[in-house]
Structures are given as structure tokens and as C-alpha cells.
Chain A
């Protein structure tokens, strides 16, 4: 009896493996069930699950959408990738030009190496000059991006006690108070940077990795978003998430009457809309121990639910370690292109 055909695929950490179609189908099924159960959302249809299997088992190394179904691309931390990630010695304006004229990106993002709003505030006038210079030398929409990064507000980097240390010590009230104060300060810092970027002529702002420090981190971002939208209703702001749900480090924080902790993407996007966001970037965690099939099926289930709920464009984060992208320094093309195709065609993403 002939051995059943096996297909090249990967695990979430990028480790390569070969699986039969039946094994891939089972993992797709498990991934969909896991997302539907956690998010309390509808599972994918049988046709959609079958299509994911087709995408994974297609023979070409690189997958793509059909002509005419392409989506626009935004790029978080964009100008740091050539210099910091790849070690190519170019300044940020040149990096924007490379994104525009060589990579043919639809938009680019100017970012500082610290990539957090707090350390940018004291050097904002340098950043304003950098933005003006980049704007004068490019045509595509230019974002200015950074993270709320509430962790930087804790000692020794900031003024407040570290709730990640207070909580294991049983100091719940102190941990909550520290988070509330940090969120308040972070929101002010984000709005301050936005004020200057509007003046500098930035086309848009990006709040990246929202919720990285838990629900207080998300509160800071939504509070800032609401204020920026109030002050500059025509200034576009993208909000990209850090993980698939807001970790309840505080647990009782609310925005517009909704508890933030435990919110999944289809709920997060509604809060982002209320705050005034222009583009929402959902994020689904990649499990490095599970297969690409499991991670991709799970991602598509969450993203489709988010897309169905959303009235603003969604650009899922498809970088290293999220939205079924492998946790490797250089994301493999076979997995990355298949993830992009499935997220656009099944998840119905508006951009990436």
C-alpha cells in the first residue's frame, strides 16, 4: 500500500515538518474550535475550513490572492526595520523612500528606536523635524508610530511601583492604583506627541502594541484616542493590538462602560470605534508548539468575527509571532504568504 502523501508545513516556531492532508484537516478543525470556544464566536464554515487546507497544501512555495483582490498595507515600526532589524545603515527618511519606491508600500511609518510614547516626549522636537523632512521627501501616507508601553511608567524606568511585582506579593490595591496612575500619565503623553505630529504634518498616527502591559495599557490608548479624536476629528489614527485579549492585570478598568480585561478582537474593535480610531489592527497570538494549520485556522476564525463586527477597516498584525506568523527572526515565505492569503480571503481583512 502506498504511503499517504505528506505536505511540507511548519510549527508555530517555524520548525519544518511534513503532515498528511488528514492531519492538517484535524488541526484546522482544532484551531477553529479553540477560537470559537475562547472568543464565544461562530466557527468557520466547512467550506472555509476546507479552503484553509487547500491553501496549506497548495504546491507553490508562495501563495497569493487573485489579481484585483489585493489589500493595502500599513507597516508598523517600518523605518526601524532596515536599520535596526537588518543592520542596514540608512537614516529614517531614506528608509521611508525605500518603502515607497523600492518596496512599493501603500504607506510608511516613521518611528524612533525607543518606540514608546514616553521616551519620545522629551525629544519630540527632533521627531517633528524628522517627520517634516520625511514628509517633504515622500508621497505615500506617512504615519508616526509608537507603543503606549505602560511598563516604562514603573520603577526604575518611571515613577510608579511595578504591578507585576506587587501582584505576586498580594498587594492588589496598590497594584491597581499604580496602573490607574500610569494609564492616566501615558494617555497624556500620547496626546502630547499627537499634538506635535499634527503640527508637523504627519498624515496619521499609529498606536502600536496596545494592551502589551494589560488592561490599563489599553485604557491609556483608548483614552488618548478619544482625546485626539476630539481635538483633531480629521486626523487618522490606527490602533494595533498586542495580543488576542486584554490581559486583566487590573481587572476592573472600563472604557465607555465596557470592562476591558478579557476582551477579544471582535469586542476590542467596537471600543476602538467608539474612541474614534480610523483603522483597527487585531492580533492573534501564535502558539509556537502548535502547527501552522492550527494557528492559521484559529487566526482566521478570530479575524473573520472581528471583520464582521467592525465598521472601520481592519489591518490584522501579521508580523513575527502573531496572526499565525512563525516566531522566527525572518518569517518564512511559505507560511507568511499563506497566512496573508487566508487572512484576506477568509478573514476578510481590509489591509495588513
Chain B
């Protein structure tokens, strides 16, 4: 198969949840000398992003996304096993819902989707204080803090995180991602968060863009 055919086959394998086929295509791409970054980004990763779009429309369900994510992780592990030097993970992200907010479904979806893209996820769960979230990010050497607030009454917790980050000189060193139903770009701008993500797919795109900037 040509490069384009292999990339298309990788995309199709992820979208059809076919792990064996996905690994076979990965093997063929190595034989053909195609860069794994092209295969992961334009093939397998593009497939995951397509499934993310369908999930957001209610046409694909979370267990299927999880299966696709695992395929992607196993393919990435296969590529890694063939390298003499272990590749650097794209980033480390601390995730949590903010204090007072137990709505963790959206945060779980972001965790699954970001994992599929190779990010290391430190999932703090739900209802964690601003201080705890920032401390976890510092302790783990995270690149990003992602928080979700579903309620208008818990949104100010995201502002508290920004205040702690500023006070401790962490702004710019650790980037912040904010999301949740009442959250908007206007809110992110107002509290000086680095990224506003409307959904898991937006989070993937925006974090990747910031990492490559």
C-alpha cells in the first residue's frame, strides 16, 4: 500500500474498532518506512477525532470511544517498542471537576480522549479544591490543568485557580483549560484562563495547537 492508502487504512481500522487490523497496518507502515507521527496524527488520531465528533452528536457511545482509544494506545505502544529511544509524551494534564461540583461525566470523556492522543492524565476525580488541583499539578510536573464546572455557582472556582497560579508565579508555566456547560470563551478571557474547550474534541485540538506553538 502507498503512504496515503496506509493512512486511510489506519483511520478506517480505528473507526471500525478493529485492533488486529490497526496493529497489522502499523506493522506495514514500519516496513514501508512511513513516519509513525504521520500514521498516528493523520491516520489513527484523525479516526479518533472523527469518532469524537460522532460522540458529540449522539451517534457513537462512550464505551466505543474507550475501545478506539485503547486501540490507539496499543498502536502507539507498538511504535514505541520499535524505537531505540523512548519518545517523549506530548504532555501531562491534571484533570478535575472544581470544588462543589460532582458532575464528572464530561471530565471522564476528556480524560479518555486525551489519553488516546498520548497525553499522560492525572485524574483527580471530582469536587477538588482549587488549592489541591494546583498542588497536584506542581507535584506531578504537569503541563496543563483542566477543570470542569457544570454549575454557574461553581464557575468561580476556576477563577480561584487562576488567582493561586498568579500568586505562586505559575502562570505561563502551567497552562489552564476550562470547560463545562456554562463556560464560554468570554469567561475564559475574563479569568485569564489559557484555553476554553467547548468539548473533548476542542480540548484535543487546542492543547495540541498550544503544545506545537
Contacts and interface: CB of A to CB of B under 8 A. Distances in A.
Interface of A: 11-13, 15, 38, 151, 162, 164-165, 167-168, 170, 172, 175-176, 213-215, 245-252, 261-264, 285, 288-289, 320-321, 327-329
B59 A15 contact: no
Contacts of B67: 172
B101 interface: no
Contacts of A249: 61-63, 105
Interface in B62-76: 62-64, 66-67, 69-70
A15 B165 CA distance: 27
Given A164-B104, A289-B184, A327-B182, A250 B61 contact: yes
17 contacts: A13-B182, A13-B184, A13-B187, A151-B102, A164-B104, A167-B108, A172-B67, A214-B62, A249-B63, A250-B63, A251-B63, A251-B64, A262-B61, A264-B58, A285-B181, A327-B181, A327-B182
Given A247-B105, A262-B59, A288 B182 contact: yes
A36 B184 CA distance: 24
B186 interface: yes
B105 A213 contact: yes
Nearest to B186: A15
Contacts of B59: 262
Query: Which of A13, A164, A328 has most B Cβ within 10 Å?
Result: A164
A176 B105 CA distance: 15
A176 B64 CA distance: 12
Given A261-B61, A262-B58, A167 B104 contact: no
Contacts of A250: 61, 63
Given A168-B115, A170-B70, A214-B105, A13 B186 contact: yes
A246 B105 CA distance: 13
Contact of B66 (A167, A264, A285): A167
